[in-house]
Chain A
């Protein structure tokens, strides 16, 4: 792992491979034009942050990246989104396989009405990632540990996941997502219900995930974006106003609107 980290550091952010590339993406909810002509490349081994005021389309764009918008009848996506160079909206692509590669943690925690254990074991089981029960136990424990919730639930793995507190549910959903070992992890405000300690632990997890995966995170906290991400995109009214290195964007924004937003002059 240290090797990889060193390799990343050597290569520098700019030299990394493009993992997901989007060109001219438009999204409509019936007549509502929610995403307008967005082109944006998500790099491998990088944490990309989406920031922007509420309702500007961050979640919508995030959901496009693993075709979760397919489940919304009125939603229409145009433009190209490529994962490792292949169009994910092509007819031949099976969204099921795509989502196994591009995992997502939703804005609202949605644990299944199953035990905590079964919630985490769900993904590995359906994808046949584990050989036996012992393997599964290990994956579940590891995922829960990495999502910083193991200590809270280790004595009640059999009790329902829906019985946890909001913040615990959020971490359970993170554990559930990383248990399937996706190549890209999309996280929609993963820390919105967490206390500072749990937030710090999740940020640590995100940083650690970077060594193997590409992570996209939506957040309303500038500090969080600045802490965990290498790239930041600022969304405003369905457009990407500015996209670039996090450091540059926060210290030296090109656009007036970005500057106003990060300095808190509008929301």
Chain B
């Protein structure tokens, strides 16, 4: 039904396009040059309006009407059973709707059946109503704009403005979503700090992480929300990952861009990019099942005790995961260094190595730095690998051979655990907010670095 409306709106918009164009041509008897805007702009202006008005009406009317319907039905439920609890009332309502749509409800009784009839009746009204209103709206808008068309009508400027407006709305939606997410993070974080009586230092620097130990008594123990082990774990794994990823990724990029023959490059670069396409779960069990036991076996053979879940295993595998990001991005920026710079260096009798080290890499440095920082933010935010390979126990250690836990792992544990989401949300959101701040900080630094070198080089 709704798709029929969408189709109709598109069709009418097309019709208005053709009609508008024809009318514009007609208004000057074919002497195009005297038109202010080309005929297709006239058509487009009219058709855009029809489309926009139709779609907006469809969306708004059907949503608002659906809310109204819910209210009516809720009223009916409360009339029939005045002392029903809110949750039960909602259950009845959703059952009635299921029956109305021919689905299976949790329970059927007289109240539900009568409600179902009512629901299907007013639901039908809603559908028809919103379809008719939106199509009429589209036609109305199209006709209205079609009437305006004449020789001097500034259709081009107006339709450009209209398009600008649509683009702006899209941008605003994206921005508002971001702001909304950040705000919800901030509010939950504040709520959490309120619960531990603003002893934020206990969160940042405390060393005991067991945030849910007091939930049964309904309290958060400020002494047990110390997230320092998590931060240290995240930091350690990130460092290990970057130790693996930066040299390998960078050298691979240099090889690809300056040493590999075009033929090698042709297949090597896609291969590297496939590495980037492997889902992180796969890396995760690769780390847990293959790498971690191997590291433990190797450690034991030289007399070290290695936990079966170790920061080292997770970090190394995460590093492998990040290699393609760094190599692919660095390869792009190294390639973007103009050949004339390399020629300049060769022309002075420099070797390939000297040229790369002293001319190409410095010129590509801003891009490389931002590639590395991008890799760091990925490492910090990476979840799957560490969930599987790094462990869950929050112990504070600087030994990469022991199990550590990370911020992301603990968020997963909190949200997927048995505890009710609303209770676990506080610590989880706070960890999330911390993570967000760190990543944001990294991005800001990356931008700063890039800009600094830009100033120096351009």
Q: List the interface of chain A (C-beta within 8 A of B).
A: 66, 68, 71, 73, 95-101, 103-104, 106, 108, 110-114, 122-123, 126-127, 160, 162-163, 173, 176-177, 180, 182
Is A112 a contact partner of B359 (Cβ separation < 8 A)? yes
Q: B349 contacts A112, CB within 8 Å?
A: no
Stretch at the interface among B193-201, B326-334, B337-345, B370-378: B337-345
Min CB–CB distance A13 → chain B (angstroms): 28
- Please state if B346 and A110 are interface contacts (CB–CB under 8 Å): no
Smallest CB gap from A66: residue in B: B347
Determine if B338 and A122 form an interchain contact, defined as CB atoms under 8 angstroms apart.
no
Task: Check B348–A122 contact: CB distance below 8 A.
Answer: yes
| Contacts A/B (CB < 8 Å), 15 sampled | A68-B346, A96-B349, A97-B349, A99-B346, A99-B349, A110-B343, A110-B344, A113-B362, A113-B458, A114-B359, A123-B349, A160-B458, A162-B457, A162-B458, A173-B344
CB–CB B349/A110 < 8 A:
no
Candidate in B363, B456, B458 with the most chain A CB atoms within 10 angstroms: B456
Q: Which of B342, B347, B348, B457 contacts A126 (CB 8 A)?
A: B348
- Across the interface, name the chain A residue whose C-beta is closest to B454: A113
A182 neighbours in B (Cβ, 8 Å): 349
Chain B, 80-105, contact with A by CB distance < 8 Å: what is the 0/1 string?
Answer: 00000000000000000000000000
CB neighbours (8 Å) of A177 from chain B are 347-348
Residue B262, interface by CB 8 Å: yes
B349, A127: Cβ atoms closer than 8 Å: yes
Stretch of B163-171, B237-245, B273-281, B350-358 with 4 or more beta carbons under 8 angstroms from chain A: B350-358
Whether B457 pairs with A160 at a CB distance below 8 angstroms is: yes
Residues on A with C-beta less than 8 A from B339 are 71
- Inter-chain CA distance A111–B340, complex, in Å, is 9
Task: Render B442-458 as a binary contact track against A, CB cut-off 8 A, 1 for contact.
Answer: 00000000000000111
Q: A99-B348, A180-B349 are in contact. List 4 more A-B contacts (CB 8 A).
A: A97-B349, A111-B344, A112-B345, A113-B456
Tell whether A113 pairs with B351 under 8 Å between CB atoms, given A71-B343, A99-B346: no
* B350 and A96 within 8 A (CB): yes
Smallest CB separation, A130 vs chain B (Å): 14
Most A C-beta atoms less than 10 A away, residue of B340, B344, B346, B347: B347
- Residue of chain A at shortest CB distance from B342: A71
A180 to chain B, nearest CB (A): 5
Give the complex CA separation of A112 and B358 in angstroms: 9
Given known contacts A110-B338, A162-B457, A122 and B358 CB-to-CB distance under 8 angstroms: yes
Task: Give me the 7 closest cross-chain CB pairs, A-B, nearest first.
Answer: A100-B349, A113-B457, A110-B340, A99-B349, A110-B344, A104-B347, A123-B348
Closest B residue to A163 using CB positions? B458
> Which of A99, A111, A160, A163 is within 8 Å of B347, CB to CB?
A99
Q: When the two chains form their complex, are residues B344 and A106 in contact, meaning their CB atoms are under 8 A apart?
A: yes
Q: How many residues of B contact A (CB 8 A)?
A: 23
A103 touches B347 (CB 8 A): yes
Taking CB atoms, residues of chain A closer than 8 Å to B340 are 106, 108, 110
**Are B362 and A73 in contact (CB-based, < 8 A)?**
no
Q: Which residues of A contact B358 (CB under 8 A)?
A: 112, 122, 126
Q: Do A126 and B349 have beta carbons less than 8 Å apart?
A: yes
Within the complex, which residue of A71, A96, A108, A160 is in contact with B456, where a contact is CB–CB below 8 Å? A160
Closest CB in chain A relative to B334 CB, distance in Å: 13
Name the B residues within 8 Å of A127 (CB-CB).
349
Residues of chain B within 8 A (CB-CB) of A96 are 346, 349-351
Docked complex Cα distance between A106 and B341 (Å): 10
A-chain residues with CB within 8 Å of residue B262 when the two chains form the complex: 73
* Closest chain A residue, CB of each to CB of B457: A113
Which residues of the partner chain B approach A111 to less than 8 Å between Cβ atoms? 344
Whole-angstrom distance between the alpha carbons of A123 and B349 in the complex?
Answer: 7
CB distance from A158 to the nearest CB of B (A): 10
Bound CA span A52–B32, Å: 50
Closest B-chain residue to A186, C-beta based?
Answer: B347
Chain B residues near A113 (CB-CB < 8 A): 341, 359, 362-363, 456-458
Q: Is the CB of B348 within 8 A of A176?
A: yes
Separation of A177 and B345 alpha carbons in the complex (Å): 10
C-alpha gap A127/B358 in the complex (Å): 14
Q: Return B211 CB to nearest CB of chain A, in Å.
A: 50
With CB as the reference atom, state the residue of chain B lying closest to A124: B348
Instruction: Evaluate contact between B343 and A106: CB separation under 8 angstroms.
Output: yes
Enumerate chain A residues within 8 angstroms of B347, measured Cβ to Cβ. Answer: 66, 68, 99, 103-104, 106, 177
Chain B window 54-77, contacts with chain A (Cβ cutoff 8 Å), 1 for yes, 0 for no: 000000000000000000000000
By a CB distance below 8 angstroms, the chain B residues around A112 are: 341, 344-345, 358-359, 362-363
Residues of A within 8 A of B345 (CB): 112, 122
What residue in chain A is nearest B340 (Cβ atoms)?
A: A110
Which A residues are in CB contact (< 8 Å) with B359? 112-114
Bound state CA distance, A108 and B343, in angstroms? 11
Complex-state Cα separation, A162 to B457, whole angstroms: 7
Q: Which residue of A lies closest to B344 (CB)?
A: A110
A114 to chain B, nearest CB (A): 7
Closest to B262 in A: A73
Of B342, B344, B457, most buried by chain A (CB within 10 Å of CB) is B344
Bound CA span A112–B346, Å:
12
| Cβ contacts under 8 Å, B351 to chain A | 96, 126
Separation of A71 and B338 alpha carbons in the complex (Å):
13
Chain B residues near A163 (CB-CB < 8 A)? 458
In the bound complex, how far is the Cα of B348 from the Cα of A2, in angstroms? 29
